[in-house]
Structure 1
Amino acid sequence: MDREDILRAKDESLARLRGIYGESAETVIADKRYGFIGDVLKDVLSKPKVEKVTWSDRIDRVVLNRWLGIPIFLLVMWLVFQIVTPQFDVGTSFSIAEPMMGWVEEGLGWLAEQASGIEGWFGALVVDGIIGGVGSVIIFVPIIFLLFFFLSLLEDCGYMARVAFVTDRILRRVGLHGRSAMPMLLGFGCNIPGIMACRTIENRRDRMTTMLVNPFMSCGARLPIYLMLVGTFFAAHQGTMIFGLYVIGILVAIGMAWLFRGTLFKGEAAPFVMELPPYRVPRLAEALLHMWERGKWFLIRAGTIIFVIVIVIWALDYNGWLEPIGKAIAPIFAPCGFGEWQPAVGI
């Protein structure tokens, strides 16, 4: 029997196992291995007649259910976005970020009033450039920090580890496994830590694929853009629309992972085995610390870029160069409905 016959027999055996058990060969082998271990332990290990069922076990029966796991995860994330995202121009809202954004806006207004006495180009730079430009982004910082806070709560309570488990079945269909879920979830906060977290993935093909699709996860820097667009076109359902944009990013990432694993990084996904930690009550201090660390990272990385771009745009506008540049590039965006120079410059 030559090499091709062996590989063909292997593929046929794997397909037969999948047809019989409805699972991948790695999962079947792991189940059988642990089943054998369990049978051996029954003969050599004495246990109490009534085994204690913990609260973690009871919760996992629902959260890790084959059919309910993914819907529960989507529901949890939808609730987070509903709580975090303010419903601008809508009479009812239960977003806890809205009053915080009001405080930031009042503070920026006070700063602009104090700086209004500065004359000349420097006063225009401070009021119109720094406070007006950077402030339009700073006002969304409470939403970003709150999103990091709730993600930290979910991580500290042990739920995020369950997310890796329940998403393993879907990710395995595109050539990845549950270990790729955590770096992708970290991408919600910032893609850079998400890509750095891929170092924990041992298999090179899985690691490279996860790194390449991580930028499709909507990071915190994109949230202000989402909020402005959704607030303009979908004011009555902003939380749901923001959630939908994040889901679209996840679906695109999964689709690209399938494409990469079928072209650039061919091969079967590595087996995935993980130990689920017990649920615990998250500590507020730890959640706040994680929120601050991730939020500070965003402010330093994104804030620096935003500050430089705002200064450049202000300088072009102050010297009368911005409008001619906008009119020159506006025809490029006219087919998209942005024929005026202002939106062309904004894009």
Structure 2
Amino acid sequence: MAALVIAEHDNQTLKAATLNAVAAALQCSPEVDILVAGSGVDAVASAAAQIAGVRNVVQMDAPALADQLAEPLAVQILSIASGYSHILAPATASGKNVLPRVAAKLDVAQLSDVTKVVSPDTFERPIYAGNAIATVQSGDPVKIITVRTTGFDPVAATGGSATVEKQAVAESAGKSSFVGRELTKSDRPELTAAKIIVSGGRGLGSGEKYQELIAPLADKLGAALGASRAAVDAGYVPNDYQVGQTGKIVAPQLYIAVGISGAIQHLAGMKDSKVIVAINKDPEAPIFGVADYGLVADLNTAVPELTQALS
């Protein structure tokens, strides 16, 4: 049977994480469909139809789906679930919100944070903050999977020629409603999709130092801004900057960690980065154990010098 990928989007553009989920789905089944559920999503459905390897795009369009609430979105997924052996979504806030509800309604176990497809019924996922890899085999008739996007290279966003099939929206009980959303506006790349990330930790000492040292370096590199949980908890930056097990999982081409000791919680979120550069005055900091390049130095001196050298 075919696999279904739940597209992640903002009703206007398709999120890059969908491409990673499609890559995982193609390893589960040669036939992959995408569900685009939202409000005014013709452009998203058209973009999804261009993804390489996709057979069909199921479009469900209604105002009630505009805010991607878990309850109405789960109802749409359940209405077509019987035609699929695998249902996948990126392991983002959205995917983690809706798929557990789908799994519960189908009375099957969810396979979370999958990083490798061994076979259509066997998968690998990290446990113990990524220090061990569990191989899990599922005998459920439908596999509900959240995909850790860093584990799969994205498929091509163009080159496909899938058909777009508009389907009627299933009625939802309407027990939840959208109240509001607070977003941090930034011209920088999105953290989970950025090719370069500069992160700051508690070693910076204050939010002012973060802006004084980290932001200019990120500007020079065209990088996204990240932070450790300690820096977020201390109020240096908003919590959507957090990289780690309880934050965002990233795997950029270049990750620069400034004043970050390397607690296991943080390492779980960035150790798959292609090149890791660490700047820390403590030569025994755990971050140096995963870093490709390490600089033992005072960040107050080293970071401005690095920024200046990039001018």
Relative to the length of structure 2, the TM-score reads: 0.25
Which structure is higher in RCO with an 8 Å CA cutoff and minimum separation 6?
Answer: 1
Bigger radius of gyration among the two: 1
- The structure with more strand, counted as a fraction of residues: 2
- The structure with more helix, counted as a fraction of residues: 1
Relative to the length of structure 1, the TM-score reads: 0.24
